[in-house]
Structure 1
Amino acid sequence: MDESPENNSPPPAANSELIETVKPFSGESTVEWIDYAVNQAVIAQKNVTETLESTINVTKSRLDQIKSTSTAHFHMTLESLKDLKSDYNAYEDIVFGKMKEGVYFTASHPFATSGLVIGTGILASKRTRRSLYYSTMRLFTNDEAMLARANAKAQKLRDAVKTLTTESTKLEKDALDAEDKLKRGRTKLRQAGKQIRGVISSAYKIERQAGGLKDILKELPNRDASGFRKEVSQLGSQAKQERKVLSKQVKKISNYGISV
């Protein structure tokens, strides 16, 4: 309990040894930074030591008051102080060990450390965080807008495909109806052509019979057969004229690709 605070502070030789260990890792600027870091570590250690010393002094004064009333309480407090001091020493060793590791790493990797420090400083800036936030929000907003436009275009395309499908079905039905009508029309034309062929054949027969009748009428006296010959001639001429007209109609039907 009577140990002085000077016993807790690290000897100056340790600090110089730490600096000498770090020096080979970097240039002059890195050495200055390491010196500054070590000095800050020493100052922190000194502050902790002074705080502990102040706590011990206060505790001593309280112990002097307690001595007159309770010896057992005094020994308990003394044990507590010893435990506190041992915990402090362990904590001190851990903290300065981590600080040494950090200094060694900084000296070994100056570029990585500088980048980390600069990046941390940039991210710690309020303006940078706000800019990053709004940039992220704009990115999400743009993505949502693009998705909405893509959905609208997809819906428009689906509507167009549906309309085309409906029109295609209607046109297909109309085409089937037209094809059916065309088949029926061709059938009717074929039948009409056959009928016309029959009429042409009949007209040819009438024409030929009229020619034979004219030959018979020539043998009769002119006074008796002149009226008949005139009528037979007109009948033959009409049959011939009708046959020519009907032959033209059959030719038209054949031009449509319908065999008659």
Structure 2
Amino acid sequence: MDSLSDSTGPAVGSAQSSQQRSPRPLEKFQDLMLKVRSHWQAYEDALVHNTKDELLVAYDHPLEACGVAVVAGILLLRGRFKTEEERLTEAESFLREINESVTKLKKESKNILTKVSYGEEDLLRGRTKIRAAGHEIQRLNKSIYKIESEAADLMEELRTIPGRTALELRAEVAPMTSSLKNQRLELNERVTKISELGIRV
């Protein structure tokens, strides 16, 4: 019996000394909880501090804060019920729409530029034709003026000739002279309008 107690004595002593050297599981858990609690307290203090600052900003700017809160809420709600794949799919779809719009705008722009180019060519051709027409009007105007002058000379000569025949000729020449004058004035107006378009005649 003494030998048994002698043999177990050192074993118990060694077990007790090992327990004293290494902390028990409960003590480890308590130490861990203390560390977690201290970290959580620091995080909580920082969170409270940031929340106070944000509340002060919201108090000073209520409308902006309300708008930000609404937008943030909408974004959170949208993002909460959508996976990353769904959001990427929506982004790709939106990008395709943008590319289609850009392609359509480029096509329309090209068509418009083509029409403008044709219009410029038509305008140049039109200006050339108008300028040529103006030259023709001036040439015709000179011819009318020459005939009008000859008719006026004829009227003066007929006035010097007595008799019924001269009166009848004067009666025929007078309306011709008046018609030539009206035509010349009308042609002069057309030349003026051409000049107003910036086309030199």
Deviation at 1:150, TM superposition (A): 1.1
After superposition, the Cα gap between the structure-2 partners of 1:148 and 1:225, relative to the gap in structure 1 and judged at 3 Å, is same
Deviation at 1:211, TM superposition (A): 0.8
Q: Which of 34, 38, 63 is matched with 1:111 structurally? A: 34
Match of 2:170 in 1: 229
d(CA) in 2 for partners of 1:111 and 1:178? Answer: 85
Deviation at 1:141, TM superposition (A): 4.9
Are 1:187 and 2:128 matched, yes or no? yes
d(CA) in 2 for partners of 1:238 and 1:147? Answer: 83
Deviation at 1:164, TM superposition (A): 0.6
Aligned length: 159
Match of 1:170 in 2: 111
Are 1:200 and 2:124 matched, yes or no? no
Match of 1:6 in 2: 9
Deviation at 1:259, TM superposition (A): 2.2
Match of 1:153 in 2: 94
After superposition, the Cα gap between the structure-2 partners of 1:154 and 1:239, relative to the gap in structure 1 and judged at 3 Å, is same
Matches within 5 A, 1:233-244: 233-244=174-185
d(CA) in 2 for partners of 1:114 and 1:215? Answer: 129
Counterpart secondary structure, 1:258? coil
Alpha-carbon contact 1:106-1:113 (below 8 Å) kept: no
TM (norm. structure 2) is 0.65
d(CA) in 2 for partners of 1:149 and 1:142? Answer: 11
Amino acid paired to 1:112: K
Amino acid paired to 1:152: S
d(CA) in 2 for partners of 1:104 and 1:164? Answer: 70
Q: Deviations over 1:35-60 (max 9, x none)?
A: xxxxxxxxxx58xxxxxxxxxxxxxx
Q: What do you get for the CA RMSD once the two structures are aligned? A: 3.4
Q: Which of 12, 23, 44 is matched with 1:99 structurally? A: 23
Amino acid paired to 2:13: P
Counterpart secondary structure, 1:152? helix
Matches within 5 A, 1:53-132: 97-99=21-23, 103=27, 111-113=34-36
> Identity of aligned pairs, percent?
29
Match of 2:158 in 1: 217
d(CA) in 2 for partners of 1:140 and 1:223? Answer: 112
The structure with the largest alpha-carbon Rg is 1
d(CA) in 1 for partners of 2:129 and 2:82? Answer: 69
After superposition, the Cα gap between the structure-2 partners of 1:191 and 1:6, relative to the gap in structure 1 and judged at 3 Å, is same
Amino acid paired to 1:174: K
d(CA) in 2 for partners of 1:198 and 1:254? Answer: 16
